[in-house]
Structure 1
Amino acid sequence: MYDYAIVHLVYTVPLATALSIILGPLLTRRDVYKICFLQIVAVSYTIPWDSYLIRNRIWTYPQDVIIGPTLLDIPAEEVFFFHIQTYITTCLQILLNKSVLVATYLHNEADPRDPVGRSLLLGKRAGQLILALLALGPILLRDGPKEGQYLRLILAWACPVMYMLWTFGYQLLLTLPWTKTWLPIAAPTLYLWVVDTLALQKGTWSIELGTKLGIHVWPHLEIEEAVFFLLTNTLIVWGSTAFDNAMAILDAFPEHFAVVPGTPSPILMFKALFLPTLKYDTARLEGLQNALTVLAKKSRSFYLASGVFAGRLRIDLILLYAFCRVADDLIDDAPSVEEADKWVQHFTRFLDAAYSSKRDPGRLQASLEPFPSKAQSILVLLPTDKLPSGPLYSLLDGFRMDMKFFAKGSKDEPPIQTFVDLERYASCVAGTIGELCLNLVYYHDPDGGTRDELKHKCLAAGFQMGQALQYVNIVRDVKSDAVVARCYIPNEWFDKSSEASADAQATEILRFRRRILDTAFKIYADNRDAIEKLPYYARGGIRVAVESYMEIGRVMRERMRRGQPLDFAGSGKKGRASVPKSRRIRVGWWTMMGWRGPA
């Protein structure tokens, strides 16, 4: 009795529950919107077709295997199946695409600077031709053998919609990694093939003789059922991809879409999808790609956290952080103090031009000319209209402090003499970034309405949290910094006597590292509650950004307690301590669940 309901209880509901638990903490407002949107479209489109099949006895259900209630002759369990299959496949697609900045996969097919874009048009046309033939086939063969009736009805139902979705999403379907597009089709399809095989074998449902070809993929799995589940999962994933494509266009091109709500209307999404690709800003797309590449290489913690943010906030955060990394690399890697000073002057002139009240394009372009082309593509996209200028100039002050390490006489008079100097340095190079990130959070808040008093408190907490993360960074990099003649441990802390042995010096440095790390965790403990007062839509991403970095500090504290080497094996470049990717992902997930690590 009730075999169909048992199929759900055993096979579909547990899988949907597991995906909900895994994905739940990572869901954004847009993700929920996408799930609901696809549910409504998929179920509404499928019900009339499925009702026709049942009324014409293409397939049937024994009365003793269903509970009883029906909708247009469709059993309640079948209607539930439409919902839960759409939910499962959509959730898997969302989960696998969390790390992707979809806008970087958009291409201008008419711009000679975009060779990938120009090659996509052939793929678009080929896909449209194949899907058009598959859609027309059932019409041309409508008087064909009755044994192929079910398969023809499947193709006639699915292929016209697939044609539309391919037209809307072909760029992503052709350029995204296969794990983001074809895997979320293949995995649930294979799973449902197994479930369908068991149901057909048991007689939970059956295809009427005379309407099927009688071909089996494997014992008990009819070719029609295999094609049905393959095409339904393809429809769901392609629909989800088309949804992502619309959102990416809206987010990437503010010149065409000045204001984008947190959950854009279907009309606005269709406007985005109908925007000709020749209007895509190739330079902006290239700059976004360069910024994301910088982030992936230079800051794995922030790169991980960026996947939790959504929309234009995510893009602007990536552009801001990439600007900071570009500045750090050009100034830090300069071969001499004089060269580093030139780069600081170049960045100062750029900020002067970018924040000028006249915003003279000629002056801005002239300020960009000294920079490498990839750096230019990032700098020109810095969202200066959404950021205060003060913290960015303070960031340059921090770089000036770094330059003093290479000045004449710096060994005797290093720039970090006291803890106050260290505090000022951390404020300039990291506290400013924390403040700037939160300025973007408040700028993009889709709900708005945050009280000024609370906003100021959170901005101050973000500034201090940036300091804490910089202290962790300093403790981590003592060894690699020493290689390039830098020491951020306050000079006044050291025992200047010449009698100290090498072991004593190592013990002393370890004690100082512990002291700075303890300071970082105290600041973190004092300010982490402010994260919970941030706008809800950005709270999780900020949590992940902070906790994934503080986890490096926790690993170092563990090793200090155990007496293990602090610059541990398996670390990042130049012997820098880091946290394995699997642990960062676990921390990120638990953080989104509301977990906070020990302070």
Structure 2
Amino acid sequence: MRAGEPTATPEPDADLELAGAYRACRRIAAVNGRTYFLATRLLAAERRPAVHALYAFARMADDIVDDAERGTDLHVADELDLVEKQLRIVLEHRPYDGGAQGDSWTEADNACARLRSQVLHALADTIHRYDIAPHHFLTFLDSMRMDVPGTTHFRDRYATMADLRDYMRGSAAAIGLQLLPVLGTVVPVAEAEPAAAALGEAFQLTNFLRDIAEDLDRGRIYLPADELAAFGVDADLLAHCHRTGRTDPRVRRALAHVIAINRDIYRIANPGIDLLEPRVRPAIRTASALYAGILDRIEQSGYAVFAQRAVVPRHRRLRVASVEFVTAALRRA
């Protein structure tokens, strides 16, 4: 069997309950991740439901952390623990048995509980169908806990790049590793994993550089303190830049340094795109080019990350995408 080829299990439509679960995941992806949802059109139709299931699970956990109306931080931590327990249950029952859930959801809203059950139903089938390593999902949940105050995992600062990578291992790399068997590879999946993990880290570090001001508003700094300190930058200086909207020269130099680190990660990751199935390479190359373009915009703005959010202009987004898709079409011709 080729890497990324699904196992010979029934199609989702063969099981009405499972089909309904996948449809629920598709709706979550369509409403909450429009760009992500559109990107799935580049996949073969039979692979799209799996991507929707992976997205829906990640979104479910992310919403637990981000929804301030859910109550205390302890309650959020308890919900993540419950999701992990439910996940372990579905991983122990393959194929998934909807009646095997041993605990009721903590929400009073039965519709929400039903939706979570559907997400886990589809996720269990996806994990089984594509032989995805379960620990990628547990690593992801651990990174979610790192964003929840009051948990033993919580961090709002990262002393070193190794510490930050520990967070990104779950928040970014694990997502890429979950997706890899679904996207498909032309080599054994294990050979493509290092590059896929690196690309996830590259994307996330770019987000952290772009979103410094937003993260400061949340009391977080997702940049390595030791790398910043080498240029005389600390949390107080970043807060001052945020208040004034001006980037101190020391901060500019530090950001230039972290951007260089970020570009090195892209250089490690990008050759791995050729290890993917040809059909999906254009989309991943496009995403990599566009995210790297954010770094260019930060530099072109004079590192004005406290005054504006760096975005790649629409005309460049269209041009990069067009070049990739035309190139892919010519290769297939």
Global fold match (TM > 0.5): yes
Contact 1:331 1:343 in 2 (8 A): no
**With structure 2 as the length reference, what TM-score do the two structures score?**
0.75
Alpha-carbon distance between aligned partners in 2 of 1:251 and 1:358, rounded to the nearest angstrom = 16
Matched AA of 2:87:
L
Question: Does residue 551 in structure 1 map to residue 290 in structure 2?
Answer: yes
Instruction: Compute the TM-score of the two structures, normalised by the length of structure 1.
Output: 0.44
Partner Cα separation in structure 2 for residue 309 and residue 427 of structure 1:
25
Is 2:255 the partner of 1:517? no
Partner residue, 1:253 = 13
Match of 1:28 in 2: none
| Residues 1:336 and 2:72 are matched in the alignment | yes
Structure 1 unpaired stretches of 5+: 1-249, 256-280, 570-575
| Inter-CA distance 474–368: structure 2 relative to 1 (3 Å threshold) | farther
Please say if 1:346 is aligned against 2:88: no
Paired residue secondary structure (1:380):
helix
- Cα distance change, pair 564–430 in 1 and its aligned pair in 2 (3 A): closer
Give, in angstroms, the shift of residue 391 of structure 1. Answer: 0.6
Going from structure 1 to structure 2, the CA distance change for 1:497 and 1:485 (only over 3 Å counts) comes to closer
The question of 1:315 aligning with 2:32 is answered no
Aligned residue number for residue 120 of structure 2 = 379
Give the letter aligned to residue 161 of structure 2: F
SS in 2 for 1:307: helix
Contact 1:458 1:530 survives alignment (8 Å): yes
Match of 1:417 among 148, 155, 159: 159
* 1:538 match: 280
- For 1:171-182, what aligned pairs fall within 5 Å after superposition? none
In structure 2, the partner of 1:306 is 40
Q: How does 1:110-509 map to 2 (within 5 A)?
A: 252-255=12-15, 281=16, 283-284=17-18, 286-333=20-67, 334-356=70-92, 361=97, 364-367=100-103, 369-370=105-106, 372=112, 373-382=114-123, 383-385=126-128, 386=130, 387-404=132-149, 414-442=156-184, 450-452=186-188, 455-492=189-226, 493-494=228-229, 495=233, 502-503=240-241, 506-507=247-248, 508-509=250-251
In the TM superposition, residue 587 of structure 1 has moved relative to its aligned partner by 2.7
CA contact (8 A) 2:210 2:298 kept: no
Identity %: 21
CA distance in 2, matches of 1:469, 1:512: 19
- Tell whether the 8 Å contact from 1:305 to 1:588 is kept in structure 2 after alignment: no
Check 1:299–1:577 CA distance in 2 against 1; reply closer, same or farther (3 A cut): farther
The answer on 1:560 being equivalent to 2:306 is no
Q: CA separation in 1, counterparts of 2:190 and 2:207?
A: 26
- Contact 2:173 2:199 survives alignment (8 Å): yes
Unmatched runs of 5 consecutive residues or more in structure 2: 1-9, 329-333
User: Out of 317, 326, 330, which is 1:593 matched to?
Assistant: 326
* 1:517–1:553 contact (8 Å) kept in structure 2: no
Residues 17-28 of structure 1: pairs in structure 2 closer than 5 A: none
The aligned counterpart of 1:241 is none
* Structure 1 Cα separation of the partners of residues 200 and 236 of structure 2: 36
Q: Does the C-alpha gap of structure 1 residues 594 and 530 become closer, same or farther in structure 2, counting only changes over 3 Å?
A: farther
Distance in 2 of aligned mates of 1:580 and 1:366? 50
Q: Residue by residue, what CA displacement relative to the aligned partner does 1:491-530 show, whole Å, maximum 9, x if unpaired?
A: 3434459799935984244544443333222211222122
Q: Deviations over 1:276-311 (max 9, x none)?
A: xxxxx3x55554444334334544442332121122
* Displacement of 1:336: 2.9
User: Which one has the largest radius of gyration?
Assistant: 1
Q: Measured at CA, do residues 418 and 298 of structure 1 come closer, stay the same or move farther in structure 2, by a change above 3 Å?
A: farther
Q: How far has the Cα of 1:459 moved from its partner?
A: 1.7
1:420 shift after superposition: 0.9
Letter of the 1:304 counterpart = L
8 A contact 1:309–1:541 mirrored in 2: no
Give the Cα separation in 1 of the matches to 2:31 and 2:253. 31
Task: Tell me, yes or no, if the aligned pair for 1:531 and 1:543 is still in contact at 8 Å.
Answer: yes
